[in-house]
Amino acid sequence: MHIVITGVTRGLGRALAEWYIAQGHTVSGCGRSGMEIFELRSVYPEPHNFDVVDVTEVVKVGMWSERIMGTGTPDFLINNAALMNQPAPLWQVPAAEFSKLVDVNIKGVVNVIRAFVPAMVEAGHGVIVNFSSGWGRSTAPDVAPYCASKWAIEGLTKSLAQELPEGLAAVPLNPGVINTAMLQKCFGADAGSYPMAQEWAQKAAPFILSLGAKDNGQSLSVP
């Protein structure tokens, strides 16, 4: 399988990439940290591909996709890259912080879809997995920007599912509650009571590979 993952340098993206590579799949990923991308390249050389790409930059995302698809159209496209706002009442969230979150969590997902999905449609197969959240189906105080972005991912993905031809699938996937830097930002020390990303990947990675056309448009959660 050829699996493309955004936000691959840390957290869930990194854990998924390492699990898939260990199982013999080919992973192409992007992230914003040059140091961590260099590390991934060193540890996991070709046929795997890791590049410094900011998903908010349309032209660079397009250039990245063209290079990656020279090695084959993705079987799975996993939109994982996302930001969490500094917890605060909505009226206290700075405009610049809100805009950056929307740029990454919503526009970034669309940029990646625009760059990869036409080739997947032409190939007649592939699964687009857009990471949602429990906060994409419920709400909580002090995380309104994040909730709004993940509710948007739910609707965007379900609409995309209706547009795809037979044989493809788009799935909004709630990964669950995992002890990552993002969770620590919200939960503080309480984040330690949840599984680490590597433990989570043991269930999540094979579950994602089980997704197919039968799941198109369904809001799913990692068991």
Asked, for residue 51, whether it belongs to a domain, the answer is yes
Asked, for residue 187, whether it belongs to a domain, the answer is yes
Asked, for residue 144, whether it belongs to a domain, the answer is yes
20, 44, 146, 194: the active-site residue: 146
CB 135 within 8 A of CB 89: no
Asked, for residue 219, whether it belongs to a domain, the answer is no
The more confident residue out of 58 and 181 is 58
Q: What are phi and psi of 154, to 5 degrees?
A: -60, -50
Can you give the pTM of this predicted structure? 0.94
Interval 49-78: pLDDT, tens: 999 999 999 999 999 999 999 888 999 999
Asked, for residue 223, whether it belongs to a domain, the answer is no
- Determine the structural domain holding residue 107 and report its residue range: 2-212
Q: Is the dihedral of CA 162, 163, 167, 172 positive or negative?
A: negative
Clarify whether 44 is annotated catalytic: no
Interval 185-203: pLDDT, tens: 777 776 676 677 899 999 9
Averaged pLDDT of the chain: 95
For residue 29, what is the domain's CATH number? 3.40.50.720
Average pLDDT over residues 119-129: 97
Asked, for residue 18, whether it belongs to a domain, the answer is yes
Tell me the pLDDT band of 183, cut-offs 50, 70 and 90.
low
Q: How many domains does the chain have?
A: 1
**Beta-bridge partners for 29:** 5, 50
